[in-house]
Every structure is written in structure tokens, then in C-alpha cells.
Structure 1
Amino acid sequence: MREMLDGGDLDVLTGDYLAELTMLILGRDRLKDPAHGYARTYLRQLEECLGTALDRGVTLVSNAGGLAPARLADEIRALADRLGLTVAVAHVEGDDLIDRAGDLGLGSPLTANAYLGGFGIARCLDAGAQVVVTGRVTDASLVVGPAVARFGWGQGDLDALAGAVVAGHVVECGTQATGGNYSFFREIPDLRRPGFPIAEIEADGSSVVTKHPGSGGAVTIGTVTAQLMYEVSGPRYLGPDVTARLDTVTLTDDGPDRVRITGARGEAPPPTLKVSRNSVGGFRNETTFVLTGLDVEAKAALVRAQLTDALTPPPAEVEWTLARTDHADADTEEAASALLRVVVRDPNPDAVGRRFSGAAIELALASYPGFAVTAPPGHGSPYGVFEAGYVEQSVPEHTAVLPDGTRVAIPAPTVTTPGSDDADVPGSVENTGTDADTDTVMLPLGTLAAARSGDKGGDANVGVWVRTDDEWAWLRATLTVERIRELLPETAALTLERHEFPSLRAINVVVHGLLGAGVASGARFDPQAKGLGEWLRSRRVPIPRHLLRETTARTTATSGASA
């Protein structure tokens, strides 16, 4: 917050504090103390920065209210009083459906929050609020709301709303739009501390993504594409205010560290709102055995049999993973070692607590040679399960609570349309002939393609894109559903959706069920699928030599220009 306020001009500073896992953490906080349930880090930031924001006329909009936006608004007023500041604080509520979850068919979760749109935020700003806090709104709503307030858009201004959603999606994950987590990271200057992105939004919904002068990182068509492909599914990006057509978006270079976003088309939003539901799924524990040197497979089999025999009756779920990180004839002990991880889950904490921990450690003098663990197992801990639910748009009592305490009901959209993603099916991609080129060389996919991957509950997505039309013809012919299953064998038995974004030269793949019940419960090596795209980029595919020559020429030209 301090970097953004000191770094240059701003009208609105947004803050996105909520993720699926965050909602679970806040839900557990609220169980321990009903006064909690909001992001307390936001208050610590405001203690340092609120006065600066007021002095510079910067409006603050954040979803840090979590499960208790009214409480956070009160805390901000109290903080301002202690600091001797006068500030108009408003909040948005109505997303929390926990008291009605059973009646709405949402079960009995720990948290149940509908993703609201930006019109409640806009109403607060129209009333003069200088600080607005919300509960669970969509990440992009933090940008849509201020844009609605600035330009006076209504529910029918679908293209403009879609443009703001796209801008909000680009900046919502901070430095992921300025070079953070970027496949071609070696092209980014000064990535030690990348600056945060800024969206300059215009009255028609188009925007320019940039960053403060002198800050690190870079804003390029590539870095913006990377964030556009993050945690999406198909071309229709469904939201509470509008369905944004990502396949209509055009990116153009607007100067150093400036990328212009135009062409976003909007359709009416869906008739339902997504609901974030988090529940305590049970209790889990784990330990990792270190297997060094020879006979790794046999050592793993021995300790697995011993622990299985000791855990009778076994926990409800037991998962073993052997990571062959060992190297033959290694010159360090660490390089000579493999890791055997076991994760246990059970509704009963005793089944994964001391009984599991004791059984694992008591093998220390009676198991494979060189027995060691990375750390002793603990007592077990609860884990969460995320599930999406859906309710009609009119169900949440979307309310803007203005600085003077006035409560204003925000109407649901009057026009909606069901959403559809029209995913490709295996074999549906026309063969352009590019992949039939016999003059090819087997190289990693990432030689030409970038990727960005992530999680949505138990599903994972990976977006892959290239930079030229010739590369795009090759990519779409090469990266079929069948080829993806070959390159990522872990997906072989799972349902895949494949979507094309021609204007971005990108393909997005949704892998259903890869992450089980979500990040908080998963035992997968990469529980949020953040590395899935980089794994895919590392797999070898036949690449036409003429594309490699074009890439070499482009790299040489860029290096020469830089020099």
C-alpha cells in the first residue's frame, strides 16, 4: 500500500485479500472469536497509510471485510479516531448466506458466501465514501465498482462493464501482471522487486495496464496475456454484472510498460451467482521419509508395509508418494536421496494424531538403512474442503451501507442469460498441416510457448500461448486433448476441457478433479497446480525448424535493440 501511494498518481487503490483458502481461515477465526472474520492485516496497513491516502485524495476499495465487513468498517472508524483523521467509511454486505445455507440447498458449510458484483461498491462511492470494504465480491468487482461510479454505467452497459472486468482480472493478482511468475522471466528487467500493476480505465471500458515509473518488473503483451489466462475456463468469463467475452479482447503495445486492452464484448450475466462454500473435511497429518543411496524402491516398500501394519485399523485415507529426487553416484548426500511422503486423513483426529505420529517415529531403529524423516510428524490438524454452490441472482440481499449508515438495496440484474463455455472435444481441432512438417526437432514445448496455471477448487487450469501467427497455427494443431493427455499422464483418467482464444493466440485447458477437494485438503505435490504449466512446458514435442529460426531472429533483434 505504501509503495502504491508513494510511487505516483492514483485515483483508487484496490486490495484483494480473499481467496478460497482465505475464506476457510476466516471461518475458523470466526469460530474462535465472533468478533473476527476480516483481514486484520488491512488494519495494520491503514494505520501507516490512511493519512497519506486521505491527503492525496486516493479512494481505498478492498474486500478485506471477509466475513465481517461491518465490523471492519467500525474498526477503521475507530482507527481514524485514534489517528485524529476524519474519513467517510462505507461497506457492502449481503454476500454471507451461512444463516440460510440449509434452506438454500447449500448444506451445512463453515462459510457460504455469494460472489457479488460492483454496483454496491459504486453506490458507496457515489455517496462520498473514501474507504469502502466488502465481503465476498468477485476480484474484478473491486475495479468494476469504481469504474461504474466514475462513468455512470448502468446494468445495460455490457461492453463497458466487460472491459472493466477484464482490467480487474489483469490487476487482481498484483505483480503477476508485471512479470511475476512469468514463463519468460529472463526477459523481464529488474525482477527482484516488480512493481504493482495499474489499470487506466476509459469511459468505453477500454484500458491501459501500466505501473508506476521506476518500479521493477515490466508490463508487456506477454505479462498481460499471462494474467488473462490465469484461473479461467472458456471464452465466456461469467460474473455477477456481466459475462465478459475474453475471446474478443485485443492487446496492443502502447509504449514502454503500457499495454492497451480493447474490444472486450459483454453479454448479460448468468441467472445465478456462484457461492464459495468451505467446510471442515476432517483431520490430516503427514510425514516424509528420506531414502538415501541404493535400493530406493525396496526401502520404500519396506517402510510402507511396516507403517501399514502398524496403523490397524487404518485411517480413512492414506496416500503415498515417492519422489525420485535421487541421482546415481551423487556427489552430495542430498542429491543421493529420494523422498517418500505419506498423508493420512480421517474424520477422527485420534486416527491421524498421536497414533500415526508414534507409529511413524517408532520405526526409526527397526526399518530401512539410513532411516530419517524431514521433520517429525505433528499431532494432526483440521483441513478444509471447498465446493462451489449456486443461487439465483436475487437471493443475496446485496446492500450498500453508506457513510451515514443509510442502507441501500442493490437490485439484481433484470436481464440474464445462461452461460456456456463450448469446450472442444477430443479430435475437434482441424489439422493445419503444421504439425505434419517433417523438418522438426524434439524440444520442450516451452521453447516457443509460455504458460500460466492455477486452481479453482478441485480443478486446475493451464493456459498456453505463443507470440506469432505461425506459432499459433502450430500450437493449436499440436496441443490437442489427446496430446495433452500424453504430455501430462496424471490427467489421463480425468475430464479435460480445451478452449481456444485466437485473439490471444492461446489455449486454455481445464483439468477436472486433479486437485481433489481443493487446496486445503490436497496431498498432491503441487496442491494449487501453480507448476502444472511449467511441467507442460518442459515436455518435448516436435517443433518445426522454421519456427525455431524465426524465434532466433526475433531474439537477436530484441537483444540488438536493447543493446
Structure 2
Amino acid sequence: MTTSVPAVPRTAPCVRVGNASGFYGDRFTAMREMLEGGDLDYLTGDYLAELTMLILGRDRLRDPARGYASTFVRQMRECLTIAVERKVRIVTNAGGLNPKGLADKLTELADELGVDVSIAYVDGDDLISRAPELGLGEPLTANAYLGAFGIKAALDAGADVVVTGRITDASLAVGPAAHHFDWQPDDLDQLAGAVVAGHVIECGTQATGGNYAFFTEIGDLSRPGFPIAEIAADGSSVITKHRATGGAVTVGTVTAQLLYEITGPRYLGPDVTTRLDTVALSQQGTDRVLISGVRGEIPPESVKVSLNTLAGFRNEVTMILTGLDVEEKARLVTEQFESSLATKPEQLTWELSRTDRADGVTEAQSSALLRCVGKSRDADTVGREFSSAAVELALASYPGFSMTAPPGKGSPYGVFEPGYVAADTVEHRVTLSDGTVTQIPPSPVRGPLAPLVDEPPRPARDWGPTSPAPLGLIAGARSGDKGGSANIGVWVRDPEHFDWLDEILTVDLLAQLLPETADLTVTRHRFPNLLAVNFVIEAILGRGVADNVRFDPQGKGLGEWLRARVVDIPDRFEVI
């Protein structure tokens, strides 16, 4: 088919890129809301996460024609005609493990709807057939993180819809901006600025008040609007949202998202290394935050690969312990359950959560939860026998025995880990609607980066009288998973408060406040430009969310736990 949507004129002062999905399962109606809610040049959708790649990998095992985000097809059935009428071009990574399959499905849909569009797809990220020779083992999925220049090439050729496999999330926004302004691989500052804009909008409503530490300050969170990045030729951007939508765009909401799932000052990508310690934020009016000053460095010589492996099978049961003698009840049922298993799983994990209160006024307030998770390479070991062992204790164990739900049959689980390959071993390809295939070479400016120089410690200050109070009265936080690790970004809103936070919130203090981190490797990074510090906690999530049996398997609540802990705050600080 020939394209019906002309390329955006490159003389326009900015390109307006919206996002309608932050994960596979996000608000289904967001695509229509974004298309009908105001002007856009591009609409992106991020459907992929580390766990999603595992889910799609299992889908592909069952049916080789699958492996993409099927939700996107249903959304496009409702919205493809609207996008064409409004001259909005669509860029999405919903192709997952099968971008060609999704592109073919969309072509069929366009024919059915009578819509004339050009659909291109970007692939080459899937390394599964070459995994052994590349030293990646024998995983279920192996996908390199591609950059934005495949998207740019597709848009340069006139594509209305661009479907990709595994790309870096921010590339969804970088590609349209690179096309709009015809950026080249050596336009590092511009690319880095667009990476920051893309990182802010990639998780949808997290940029407009969702999961925000100071959520009580957001007027209407009943249905937050999805974010938009207005990206300029120099790489600066304004983050905003459609008018008359819920939520808010503030320096705080943007700061929170910038700190989400990052490590240190260098944000590595296949097109550019973005210096997050150069980002400047300023409020430009209601629901408008300017991002400026971002500097870029050359990208590294290798690219990251997302590896997922089926690790075995798991099952779990949660028992409710009510009233007195909780510890003794837990001990009894643990001994009974384990002794009744003919074959003990390779891993059997117990976790007692003391959610009970003394003299609780409701039964729920008087109850604790005991969770048992079993893992095995053998499905039967954590299947019927595991479930039966729990159920058979119903009349033979502690007084008041009950479970939150009957245990199931057990299910397979996977393990995520990152791998790395040389950039020039990845065949980054673009296939246009007429079948033309273009190879995208790796960045010609990639290379080694000079080590960062640590700032010398500053002398301690006398902060005067202090009073114990929760850290969250003065600081916000956002946390999330990075494979088996997690990060906690902590920020304040006053420069003097940052001087205090920077001094007192050390790795040692974090270990005291969050004892679960005490025996783990923790790295602390400073972001004075954001009035923030970021902690990377290695191995707190085991081998990733699909494998992890922790109470909070994705680490999303770590930041809020930290904010609830009590520290000595200077009396002269105005707390929230």
C-alpha cells in the first residue's frame, strides 16, 4: 500500500509525541483518548517489559504465529481510522517477539477496514537462533535492545505505522524526533534530550501523577491523562498532557519518573549515552514542564540483550493465622506441611507477615498471613501433592485454620538476566510495506567511555535541633525493578533539604532503615540537578520478577517503605 499520511514538515518548531501505553495491560481506551483528546504528530505505545518478554515467549512456544501484544490489534481496530483521519502516525514495540506477524495482522486489518496505510516493521533484535554462538546460552528468548534509527528509516520512507520488536523504551519517542529533525548519529546532545523525554513518557501515567509519592497534592487522579512530549530541534522538550484530562504534570511528577528504574548518571543506550546528571527541569505553566540542558556522550560498543529462561515450576499457598499464638501456629503448620510432602521441592520458602494487631477490632486486624512458595524443576512436585498437602490440614492443624484461596495446580516460571553482545553482531532491519528491507548499521561513533570522577565528600554541617519523623514528610521516592536488582530514587524539593538528604542518607543509613538491604551490595548515586540520590540494590529481587518470591516481587513499594521510616529531620525544615 502507499502512504496516506505525509511526513511531518521538518520546519515545524517541535514534534508532539504522545504515549498511550506503559505496559502490556495498560488502559485499553487510552489510544482513543489520546487520538481524540487533542493534537498529536505521533502516538507511541510501550508494551514490553522483562516479564512481558517471558510471557510472549511462552505464547510463541504454544503458537509460533503469536509472540506479539494482541491487545494492540484490538485497539487498532477501534483507532486506525481515527489515526489516519487525524494524520497521527503510530510507533509501537507491541511486535514483541514477532513484529512481522503483528505487521501482517495490521495489514489484514487495514484491508478489512478499507484504510490506506503504509505499515513497516523493525526487527533483527531476536537472537534466539544465534544465542549459543554469541555466548548467551540456551534461553527461551534472547532479544537485543535496538535503537531509534530503524524507526527513523521507516518514517523517512513514509510509514504511517511502525511496529518494532525489542527496542529501548525511549526509542519510541527518539525515532519520531530524529525523523522530524533529521538528526544523525553524531547529534548526541539532541538524541540524549529526546531519550530523556522518551524515558519520562514511556511509562504512561506515571508522568502525570500515577504512583506519585505526593499523590494527595494531585487534584484529580480518578483517570490521569497520558503524557505528551513536545520535542524541539535542540533536544529540549516540554512534558504535558491533553487539556481536561486528570492528573498533573509538575516538576515533581517528572522527577519521579526520571528516577524510575535507573542506575547512575550515565544512561546507556545503543544510540547515545545520556547524562542524567545534566537534566534541568522547570515548570513552564500548568501541566507543562521544560526539560533542558541534557548532554549526550558516545554510546557503548556493546548492546544489552534481554534473556529469559524457563527455570521450573512453582506453586504457593497463603494461610491465615488469627488471634493469639501466631508464631506458634506458624511453627506448627510449617512442620505439618513439610512432613506431609512425599517429595520436598528444591526450594520451599516461608514468609510470615505480621499484619495482625493486638486486640484488633475486626477479624482482619487480628490476623497474620503465612505464605509458602514451592519451586521445582518437576511440575508434579509442586502440583497436586503440594496443593493436597495444604488442603488436608484443614481439620488437623492450628485453631482457625483457613487460606486466602485454595492452592492451584502450579505453573511454570522463568528467570531474567541481561546479556551483552558487540553492536555490530546485531542485524537491525527495517522492512517496508512493499517488502523493501534496509539494514541499519550500529552507531558509527560508539566507543569506550572515560571513567566518571567522584566528587569529594563535603564536610558535615550542623543542622541544629532535630525531631524524629517519617522521611516521607520531606522526601519523595520512586522504586522499581531492574532484573534481579531494584532502585530507589529519593528526592526533595528544596536545595537546602537536598544538602541535608545528601549528607545523611548514606548506604549505611539505608541498611538501618531497610534491614532487607543490609547484606546486599548497594550503590549510591547523586543527582544534585534533580535534588535526588539514587540507590541500586543488587539481588534484592533474586533472579527477577518471574522467579522472585519476595512480598513485593517488583520492588515497587521499596520507596514508600523507606519514606515511612523515621529519621531525625531538622526542626527548621518545613515538612509537608
TM bucket, shorter chain: over 0.9
Distance, in Å, in 2 between the alignment partners of 1:473 and 1:405 is 58
Matched, 1:42 2:64: no
- Does 1:499 pair with 2:529? no
1:176 maps to amino acid: Q
Match of 2:176, SS? helix
Tell me whether 1:93 sits opposite 2:123 in the alignment: yes
Query: Which residue is equivalent to 2:470?
Result: 444
Match of 2:537 among 506, 511, 519: 511
Are 1:238 and 1:419, in contact at CA under 8 Å, matched by a contact in 2? no
Give the 3-state SS of the residue equivalent to 1:99 in structure 2: helix
* Residue of 14, 21, 28 corresponding to 2:44: 14
Q: Distance in 1 between matches of 2:157 and 2:534?
A: 41
Question: Could you tell me whether the CA contact under 8 Å between 1:124 and 1:403 is conserved in 2?
Answer: no
* Counterpart-to-counterpart distance in 1, 2:375 and 2:479: 27
Q: Which residue of 1 aligns with 2:298?
A: 268
Distance 1:540 1:99 in 2: 52
| CA-CA distance at 1:430 after TM superposition | 3.2
Instruction: Quote the offset at 1:195 in angstroms.
Output: 0.4
Give the alignment partner of residue 430 of structure 1, picking from 458, 483, 488. 458
CA contact (8 A) 1:159 1:265 kept: yes
Deviation at 1:311, TM superposition (A): 2.0
The match for 1:325 among 352, 355, 358 is 355
Residues 258-287 of structure 1: CA deviation (Å, up to 9, x unaligned): 000000000000111100001111000000
Distance 1:479 1:468 in 2: 16
Runs of 4+ residues over 6 Å off in structure 1: none
Kept after mapping to 2: 8 A contact 1:236/1:419 = no
* CA deviation map 1:76-114 (0-9, x unaligned): 110000001111000101000000001100010000000
The residue number in structure 2 matching 1:300 is 330
1:26 is matched with which residue? 56
Show the counterpart of 1:557. none
**Per-residue deviation at 1:403?**
2.5
Q: Is the 8 A contact 1:235 1:421 kept in 2?
A: no
Task: Using the TM superposition, give the Cα deviation of residue 313 of structure 1 relative to its aligned residue in structure 2, in angstroms.
Answer: 3.7
Alignment match, 1:460: 486
Q: Secondary structure at the match of 2:413?
A: strand
Asked if structure 2 preserves the Cα contact closer than 8 Å seen for 1:117 and 1:137, the reply is yes
Moved more, 309-318 or 217-226: 309-318
Residue in structure 2 matched with residue 254 of structure 1 by the alignment: 284
| Structure 2 Cα separation of the partners of residues 252 and 378 of structure 1 | 51
Structure 2 matches for 1:107-506, cutoff 5 A?
Answer: 107-418=137-448, 429-433=457-461, 436-506=462-532
Distance in 1 of aligned mates of 2:420 and 2:409? 36
SS at match of 1:547: coil
Look up the equivalent residue of 2:568 and give its one-letter code: P
Name the SS of the counterpart of 1:231 in structure 2.
coil
Do structure 1's residue 82 and structure 2's residue 108 form an aligned pair?
A: no
CA distance in 1, matches of 2:251, 2:428: 36
Describe the superposition over 1:173-223 as per-residue Cα deviations: whole angstroms up to 9, x where unpaired: 000000000000000111111101100000010000000011110000000
The 2-side partners of 1:419 and 1:450 are apart by 32
Output the CA distance in 1 between the equivalents of 2:386 and 2:84.
55
What is the rounded CA distance, in whole Å, between the counterparts of 1:217 and 1:18 in structure 2?
24
Kindly indicate whether the alpha-carbon contact (under 8 Å) linking 1:129 and 1:402 is maintained by their aligned counterparts in 2. yes
- Unpaired segments of 5 or more residues in structure 1? 553-563
Letter in 2 for 1:329: D
- Deviation of the 1:388 alpha carbon: 0.4
CA contact (8 A) 1:112 1:276 kept: yes
Is the contact between residue 429 and residue 476 of structure 1 (CA under 8 Å) also seen in structure 2? no
Q: Is the 8 A contact 2:298 2:449 kept in 1?
A: no
Tell me the amino acid that sits aligned with residue 73 of structure 1.
A
Equivalent AA in structure 2 for residue 360 of structure 1? A
The answer for the alignment partner of 1:556 in structure 2 is: none
Shift of 1:417: 3.0
Partner of 1:558: none
- 8 Å CA contact 2:68–2:97 kept in 1: the answer is yes
Kept in 2, the 8 Å contact 1:354–1:379? The answer is: yes
Asked whether the equivalents of residues 423 and 498 of structure 1 are also in contact (C-alpha less than 8 Å), the reply is: no
Contact 1:271 1:392 in 2 (8 A): yes
Tell me how far 1:361 sits from its aligned partner. Answer: 1.1
Per-residue deviation, 1:414: 1.7
Aligned length: 546
Structure 2 Cα separation of the partners of residues 365 and 421 of structure 1: 64
Q: Is the 8 A contact 2:65 2:101 kept in 1?
A: yes
- Say yes or no: does 1:63 pair with 2:93: yes
Quote how far apart the aligned CAs of 1:419 are.
Answer: 5.2
Partner SS state of residue 454, structure 1: strand
User: 2:402 aligns to what SS in structure 1?
Assistant: coil
* Counterpart Cα distance in 1 of 2:298 and 2:449: 9
Per the alignment, residue 559 of structure 1 pairs with none
CA contact (8 A) 2:318 2:405 kept: yes
Deviation at 1:364, TM superposition (A): 1.1
RMSD, aligned α-carbons? 1.3
Residue 471 of structure 1 aligns with an amino acid whose one-letter code is: H
CA distance in 2, matches of 1:81, 1:274: 37
Deviation at 1:416, TM superposition (A): 1.8
Distance 1:380 1:414, change over 3 A: same
- Can you list the C-alpha shifts for 1:441-487, whole angstroms capped at 9, x where unaligned? 00000010000000011000000000111100010011011001100
Report the equivalent of 1:537.
Answer: 563
What's the TM-score once normalised by structure 2's chain length? 0.93
Measure, in 2, the Cα distance between the counterparts of 1:418 and 1:542.
43
Q: Output one character per residue of 1:22-54: Cα deviation in whole Å (capped at 9) or x when no partner.
A: 100110000000110111100000000000000
**Matched residues in 1 for 2:365 and 2:145: separation?**
47
Cα displacement string for residues 141-164 of structure 1 (whole angstroms, at most 9, x for unaligned residues) = 001111110001111000000000
Contact 2:147 2:270 in 1 (8 A): yes
1:331 is displaced (CA, Å) by 1.3
Compute the TM-score of the two structures, normalised by the length of structure 1: 0.95
Whether contact under 8 Å (1:318, 1:345) holds in the other structure is: yes
- Separation in 1, partners of 2:364, 2:247: 34
1:289-320 Cα distance to aligned partner (Å, 9 max, x none): 11000000000000011112112442100110
